[in-house]
Amino acid sequence: MHDHARTTLRTHFDIVESPDCDIRAHLSEAVRASIRGVACRTGIDRRFIDALPRLEIIASYGVGYDDVDVAYARSRNIVVTNTPDVLNEEVADLTLGLLISVVREIPQAASFVRAGRWSATDYPLSPLTLRNRKVGIYGMGRIGRCIARRVEAFGLPVAYHSRRPADGVAYDHYPSLLDLARAVDVLISIVPGDLSTAKSVNAAVLAALGPQGVFINVGRGTVVDEAALVEALRTGTIAAAGLDVLADEPNVPDEMLALDNLTILPHIGSASVSTRTAMADLVAQNLVAWFENGAALTAVP
């Protein structure tokens, strides 16, 4: 847990800590029986919940809650909270940074300077450009909208796919992800990781993006068929990709590391001091609100 959340929570509650989710191994039965709230940034499964007979609330550190068994928590009348909105702009900033890095080879160019190669020759012109591209956004929720605003400011048209048209946005909505991929040459994924999105960015979607295509994923790694992505990058089915998230973090498949046209970041979308502090605040505020007023601030739907 973030130190700021830990410090804030200590001023309101008695705290016990577990280094991982195997709480039966770390906490005695008597301690577990006293626990009424959990603050976490780890997977919370049925076994974890069953180990805490008096649990009322799980406050998860992050907006995505794919690693919390929400259905089981609900069946036990346990509230689950997340940290929406406070990270929207930060994650959108990182998304555009990653897109430009991939297209204009910023990490490679910086490495070129550090390697002392500039004095010998100019860095090669980037084969790709952002100019004249069409950007498709997969997910037009809180963060998707912030990404779209930035893309517009770069002078590029935006279209999107979500199951339902998003309220209050004028961008073209595609009811099918495949049709969206056919219509654009940049695809940015910012959907949650769940059964409905699992491996939905597959070989067909990547082929539809085309040989100039660029794929950016800041949502969840599980949304992508990673084997298909590696193959698409290796064979030139698409031009390049940038990933802030992987299916099995922090493990990076060797085949991915071998690709020059793939930029991988270590899940840093929200990872600035200020934004992570705001997320930590919201974790703590949810627990305080629940125990003081009986109503959490940001319970998941």
Catalytic residues: 220, 249, 267
Q: In this structure, how many other beta carbons lie within 10 angstroms of the beta carbon of residue 140?
A: 25
Distance CA(280)–CA(87), nearest Å, equals: 11
Q: Which of 197, 270, 285, 286 binds ligand 8YV (CB under 6 A)?
A: 270
Site for ligand 8YV in 64-123 (CB under 6 A): 64, 87
Q: How far is the CB of 65 from ligand 8YV (least distance, A)?
A: 8
**Which strands form 57-60's sheet, in the order they lie side by side?**
37-40, 57-60, 79-81
Residue whose CB is nearest to ligand NAP in the complex, by number: 141
Q: What angle do CA 288, 267, 272 make, to 5 degrees?
A: 60
- Out of 269, 284, 286, 290, the residue judged to bind ligand 8YV by CB under 6 A: 269
Say which residues have a Cβ less than 8 Å from residue 107's Cβ, sequence separation at least 6.
101, 263
How many angstroms separate the CA atoms of 96 and 244, rounded?
12
Task: By CB under 6 A, tell whether 61 contacts ligand 8YV.
Answer: yes
62 touches ligand 8YV (CB under 6 A): yes
CA distance 140 to 32: 40
Nearest to ligand NAP of 213, 269 (CB atom): 269
Nearer Cβ to ligand NAP (144/213)? 144
Q: Is 142 in the site for ligand NAP (CB under 6 A)?
A: yes
Contact residues for ligand NAP, defined by CB under 6 A: 63-64, 84, 87, 91, 139-144, 161-164, 166, 190-193, 196-197, 218-220, 244-245, 267, 269-270
